[in-house]
């Protein structure tokens, strides 16, 4: 059950709802969005019915939502949402391209990749400083030093930064450098981490776990929303199937399915899906044609020397070819490319 508060509801009115629910033996979580405050109820619906919450001061309406993910469902919020990251819109009407290296390696490599991304029309920079690798012997990332590099490159290029956070204890620290926090596929059901990013005021990019159903993915998003953060973008990045020719199988149907079930934007990562440079362009075309709200692409100035995922990283020439394809396809899908932001300092 979800209680939608009226636009001008006071904190005391919200608290009164929470107190009533708790006194009735349930629990209540307040989510404060930009335009509305929502109280998600946990417990026995029959007990809540008796409270007659719809007639309380400051309450707009009380909704029963049939799916396990309520705040992120379209049942609760029929219009599709636009999430803004450092001024860049992600959602219906636009196509937002995020590009950058899989991992931050050096200041020079990160700046070169960012300049490639910006020249190709990307509106955001990606780059991992904390890398949750399958093998403990693989490159694990630069940690906080990598975040400082990302912040410097943002200052130089004006590109907002998305980077991964891998443990609840470092959420605040990563958020102090990043414009958007990425939850990786391997952590999609790390519930303590989801709750930690849900408690802060920073947009979240939630990748789909490679063995997660769409319902599990949306339920993971609900963990974030329930703690108060509704600025979530979903990312389909390929799932594990019997097929070994590709790193993962891009589940293209997950794009329209997730968009039908949830109001959150859905973007696609064609790099981690196929795991192969030559597949990034065709998978990008498929993603745009399926209605994706954006793309997140691995690029590297010298993919052969990349410390992480070099096989799937695009070169400058590859990225320009992809940008041309996206520029041609976006209008066919009724979308404009999200504008690259203006550099804070001329690069
Ligand atoms: C990444 O984007 O760098 C990454 C590790 O992706 P995923 O979590 O989808 O494997
Ligand atoms: Mn990677």
Render pLDDT for 135-160 as a digit per residue (tens, 0 to 9): 999 999 999 999 999 999 999 999 99
Quote the CA–CA distance of 275 and 278 in Å, as a whole number: 9
Averaged pLDDT for residues 237-252: 98
- 């999200």: which residue's tokens? 338
Q: Write out the CATH class of domain 83-337.
A: alpha beta
Q: Is 275 helix (H, G, I), strand (E, B) or coil?
A: coil
- Report the atom number in ligand 1 closest to the C-alpha of 182: 2
Farthest-apart Cα atoms in the chain, separation: 65
How many A from CA of 209 to the centre of ligand 2? 14
- Report the atom number in ligand 1 closest to the C-alpha of 269: 9
Asked if residue 198 lies in contact with residue 219, where contact means CB atoms within 8 angstroms, the answer is no
Render pLDDT for 215-234 as a digit per residue (tens, 0 to 9): 999 999 999 999 999 999 99
For ligand 1, whether the C-beta of 127 sits within 6 Å is no
Mutate to test the pocket of ligand 1, among 139, 174, 185 (most ligand atoms within 8 A of CB): 185
How many A from CA of 296 to the centre of ligand 1? 10
Q: What pLDDT was estimated at residue 177?
A: 98
Over pLDDT 70: what percentage of the chain? 97
How many A from CA of 272 to the centre of ligand 1? 7
Q: What pLDDT was estimated at residue 341?
A: 59
Render pLDDT for 114-123 as a digit per residue (tens, 0 to 9): 999 999 999 9
DSSP code of 128?
B
Q: What pLDDT was estimated at residue 97?
A: 98
Q: Between these two residues, 45 and 320, which has the higher pLDDT value?
A: 320
Mutate to test the pocket of ligand 1, among 99, 103, 182, 270 (most ligand atoms within 8 A of CB): 182
Q: What pLDDT was estimated at residue 340?
A: 63
Phi, psi of 126 (to 5 degrees): -105, 160
Lowest mean pLDDT segment, chosen from 35-49, 70-84, 271-285? 35-49
Number of H helices and E strands in the chain, helices first, is: 11, 15
Quote the CA–CA distance of 8 and 308 in Å, as a whole number: 49
Asked if residue 142 lies in contact with residue 149, where contact means CB atoms within 8 angstroms, the answer is yes
- With DSSP H G I counted as helix, E B as strand and the rest as coil, what are the percentages for the chain, rounded to 5? 35, 20, 40
Q: Tell me where in the chain the CATH 3.30.70.1140 domain(s) lie.
A: 2-63
Quote the CA–CA distance of 94 and 96 in Å, as a whole number: 6
Q: What pLDDT was estimated at residue 63?
A: 87
Q: What pLDDT was estimated at residue 346?
A: 41
Neighbours of 328 (CB within 10 A): 11
Asked if residue 107 lies in contact with residue 151, where contact means CB atoms within 8 angstroms, the answer is no
CATH superfamily of 2-63: Phospho-2-dehydro-3-deoxyheptonate aldolase; domain 1 (3.30.70.1140)
Q: Is 30 helix (H, G, I), strand (E, B) or coil?
A: strand
For ligand 1, whether the C-beta of 128 sits within 6 Å is yes
The pLDDT of residue 344 is above 70: no
Parallel, antiparallel, or unpaired for β 88-90 and 83-85?
antiparallel
Cα-Cα-Cα-Cα dihedral sign, residues 248, 234, 181, 167: negative
For ligand 1, whether the C-beta of 102 sits within 6 Å is yes
The pLDDT of residue 342 is above 70: no
Render pLDDT for 170-181 as a digit per residue (tens, 0 to 9): 999 999 999 999
Ligand nearest to the CA of 247: 1
- Report the atom number in ligand 1 closest to the C-alpha of 296: 2
Quote the CA–CA distance of 280 and 283 in Å, as a whole number: 5
C-alpha count within 13 angstroms, C-beta hemisphere, residue 6:
13
- Report the atom number in ligand 1 closest to the C-alpha of 132: 5
The pLDDT of residue 244 is above 80: yes
> Model pTM?
0.93
- Encode burial over 121-152: b for 16+ CB neighbours within 10 A, e otherwise: bbbbbbbbbbbbeeeeeebbbbeeebbebbbe
Averaged pLDDT for residues 66-94: 94
Neighbours of 104 (CB within 10 A): 30
Q: What pLDDT was estimated at residue 32?
A: 79
- Encode burial over 43-80: b for 16+ CB neighbours within 10 A, e otherwise: eeeeebeebebeebebbeebbebebebbbbbbbbbeeb
Render pLDDT for 298-312 as a digit per residue (tens, 0 to 9): 999 999 999 999 999
- The alpha carbon torsion through 75, 81, 218, 134 (nearest 10 deg) reads 170
């Amino acid at each position: 059950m979800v209680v939608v508060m009226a636009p001008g509801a006071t904190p005391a009115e919200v608290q009164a709802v929470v107190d009533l629910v708790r006194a009735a033996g349930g629990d209540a979580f307040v989510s404060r969005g930009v335009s509305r405050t929502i109280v998600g109820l946990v417990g026995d619906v029959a007990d809540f019915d008796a409270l007659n919450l719809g007639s309380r001061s400051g309450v707009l309406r009380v909704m029963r939502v049939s799916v396990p993910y309520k705040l992120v469902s379209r049942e609760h919020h029929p219009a599709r949402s636009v999430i803004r990251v450092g001024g860049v819109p992600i959602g219906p009407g636009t196509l937002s391209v995020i590009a950058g290296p899989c991992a931050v390696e050096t200041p020079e490599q990160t700046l070169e990749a960012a300049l490639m991304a910006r020249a190709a029309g990307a509106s955001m920079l990606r780059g991992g400083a904390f890398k949750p690798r399958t093998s403990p012997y693989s490159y694990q990332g630069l940690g906080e030093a990598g975040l400082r590099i990302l912040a410097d490159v943002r200052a130089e290029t004006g590109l907002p930064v998305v980077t991964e956070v891998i443990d609840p204890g470092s959420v605040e620290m990563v958020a102090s450098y990043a414009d958007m926090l990425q939850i990786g596929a391997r952590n999609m059901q790390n519930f303590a981490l989801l709750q930690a990013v849900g408690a802060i005021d920073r947009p979240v990019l939630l990748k789909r776990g490679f063995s997660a159903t769409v319902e599990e993915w949306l339920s993971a998003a609900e963990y974030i929303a329930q703690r108060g953060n509704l600025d979530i973008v979903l990312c389909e990045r390929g799932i594990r199937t019997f097929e070994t020719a590709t790193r993962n199988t891009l589940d293209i149907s997950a794009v329209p399915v997730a968009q039908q079930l949830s109001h959150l934007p859905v973007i696609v990562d064609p790099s981690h899906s196929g795991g192969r440079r030559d597949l990034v362009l065709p998978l990008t075309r498929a993603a745009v044609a399926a209605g994706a709200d954006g793309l997140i692409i691995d690029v590297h100035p010298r993919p052969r020397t990349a410390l992480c995922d070099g096989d799937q990283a695009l070169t400058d020439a590859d990225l320009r070819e992809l940008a041309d394809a996206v520029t041609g396809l976006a209008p066919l899908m009724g979308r404009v490319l999200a504008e690259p932001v203006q550099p804070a300092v001329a690069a």
